[in-house]
């Protein structure tokens, strides 16, 4: 304890010099902590973005087999009958082309090999998926991009989704004003549309958009509703910078000629079963479609999230390591000032040795002084990092995936590493002090 008191007393007797010595440590710790916090915040933000639609499973067709999961390449598999569909009369009885008959309009000749054309998905197939335990609903739709205009204002590249009648009962869409699509909108091919709030703001400003008439493509549509999130209807398909709009899939097919089902989504409330149930749904859809070479696959968010976080983690570590170089520079500064301190206190060291202080006690005293310098610098740097992160959150919150997060492990680790730097760079001065000859030290002027 006495050594700690000596260390603090020595630092306080040279406040300015001690502070300037700690500047390198302060900047180094602050830089590393800020970068790690930004990385952790980004990972948390990405995780939140990926998992907000986790209970929804998107299913799409792929001409290549990969275990019913997008992104996992297991190579060509033998036709074992599992998920490979049916052939012959059984398939034809359901109105599907048997794989053996897929030559003509249902096949394509690629490099001399007959390839299956993508199956035309029927909503009745998707409806069958609700019989699978764990799936409590589905929705399907088609998509197109168009320009939406109101008077002299227009928004280009708007993602327009045609959704079926089950969409609003399955998908969580927060309606800010107006109404959802009704059964009559589908049966009557009504020219009505819902806009996201950002798009409505762009076109109408402060004016009430409800019941206003906008042009979509070559025809006029009446705005019947405004929904909250620009990504509310597009999170599974990719958001559009032009905003998003919703209309009946029957009307979208009539307007743009996109009557094929492009989006297939099933709802699995228990996210723990999401992959198992999703694969079963993809297998069932593959069977119902009668395809043989390709298969339907689920979009595996977990693997993409894992890879994204891995990349962010590597980038954070590399940049953090580069910033950590300033810690080493700060350590050299500490070593330099401790060597100066040893020279200035040569007579004091000689006197302590003459009074019985051992080499070990002198060594420990100077190591503690060096470590106290770096620990104080680390604490100040940690406080500075908290301040910088608060400033970043205030000024740039909108452009960040997530606010910076300083974890307890990073905070404690930064202080421990600061102490370690103090020990490493304090060894040389402490060793020099402990080796001084007491007689020669007392003669030193």
Q: How far apart are CA 411 and CA 258, in angstroms?
A: 55
Beta-ladder partners of 160: 144, 245
Q: How many CA atoms lie within 13 A of 89 on its CB side?
A: 0
Q: What's the length of the chain?
A: 445
pTM of the predicted protein model: 0.59
Q: What does each C-alpha distance from 385 to 48, 272, 330, 405, 439 come to in angstroms? A: 24, 37, 17, 11, 48
Low-confidence ranges of the chain (pLDDT < 50): 72-107, 110, 230, 232-238
C-alpha 188/C-alpha 1 separation (Å) is: 87
| E strand spans, 15-122 | 56-62, 107-110, 113-116
Please state, in angstroms and rounded to a whole number, the distance separating the CA atoms of residues 121 and 408. Answer: 51
- In the prediction, which pLDDT does 88 show? 36
Q: Please write down the long-range contacts of 440-444, taking CB distance under 8 Å and 24 or more positions apart.
A: 440/350, 441/346, 441/347, 441/349, 441/350, 441/351, 441/353, 442/347, 442/350, 442/351, 442/354, 443/350, 444/346, 444/347, 444/350
pLDDT at residue 110, as a whole number: 47
Residue 445 is encoded by which pair of tokens? 């002027």
The predicted structure's pLDDT at residue 425: 92
Supply the pLDDT for residue 134: 92
445: Cβ contacts below 8 Å, ≥ 6 apart = none
């Amino acid at each position: 304890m006495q050594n700690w008191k000596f260390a603090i007393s020595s630092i306080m007797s040279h406040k300015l010099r001690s502070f300037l010595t700690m500047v390198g440590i302060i900047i180094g710790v602050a830089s590393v902590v800020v970068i790690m916090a930004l990385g952790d915040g980004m990972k948390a933000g990405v995780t939140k973005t990926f998992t907000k639609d986790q209970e929804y499973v998107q299913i799409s067709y792929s001409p290549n087999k990969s275990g019913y999961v997008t992104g996992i390449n297991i190579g060509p598999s033998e036709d074992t009958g599992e998920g490979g569909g049916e052939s012959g009369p059984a398939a034809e009885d359901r109105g599907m082309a048997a794989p053996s008959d897929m030559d003509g309009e249902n096949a394509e000749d690629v490099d001399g090999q007959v390839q299956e054309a993508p199956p035309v998905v029927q909503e009745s197939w998707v409806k069958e998926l609700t019989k699978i335990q764990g799936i409590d609903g589905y929705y399907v739709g088609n998509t197109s991009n168009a320009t939406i205009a109101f008077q002299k204002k227009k928004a280009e590249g708007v993602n327009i989704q045609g959704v079926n009648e089950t969409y609003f009962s399955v998908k969580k869409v927060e309606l800010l004003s107006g109404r959802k699509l009704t059964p009559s909108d589908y049966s009557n091919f009504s020219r009505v549309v819902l806009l996201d709030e950002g798009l409505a703001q762009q076109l109408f400003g402060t004016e009430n958009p409800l019941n206003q008439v906008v042009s979509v493509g070559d025809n006029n549509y009446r705005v019947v509703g405004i929904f909250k999130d620009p990504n509310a209807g597009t999170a599974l398909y990719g958001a559009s910078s032009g905003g998003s709009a919703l209309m009946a899939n029957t009307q979208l097919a009539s307007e743009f000629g996109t009557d094929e089902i492009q989006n297939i989504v099933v709802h699995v409330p228990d996210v723990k079963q999401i992959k198992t149930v999703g694969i079963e749904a993809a297998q069932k859809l593959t069977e119902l479609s009668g395809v043989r070479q390709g298969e339907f696959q689920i979009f595996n968010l977990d693997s993409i999230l894992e890879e994204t976080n891995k990349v962010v983690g590597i980038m954070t570590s590399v940049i953090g390591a580069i910033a950590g170089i300033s810690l080493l520079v700060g350590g050299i500064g500490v070593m330099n000032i401790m060597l100066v301190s040893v020279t200035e206190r040569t007579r004091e060291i000689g006197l302590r040795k003459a009074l019985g202080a051992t080499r070990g006690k002198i060594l420990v005293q100077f190591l503690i002084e060096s470590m106290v310098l770096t620990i104080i610098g680390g604490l100040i740097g940690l406080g500075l990092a908290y301040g910088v992160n608060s400033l970043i959150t205030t000024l740039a919150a909108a452009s960040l995936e997530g606010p910076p997060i300083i974890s307890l492990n990073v905070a404690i680790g930064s202080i421990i590493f600061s102490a370690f730097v103090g020990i490493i760079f304090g060894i040389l001065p402490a060793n020099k002090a402990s080796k001084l000859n007491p007689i020669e030290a007392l003669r030193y002027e």
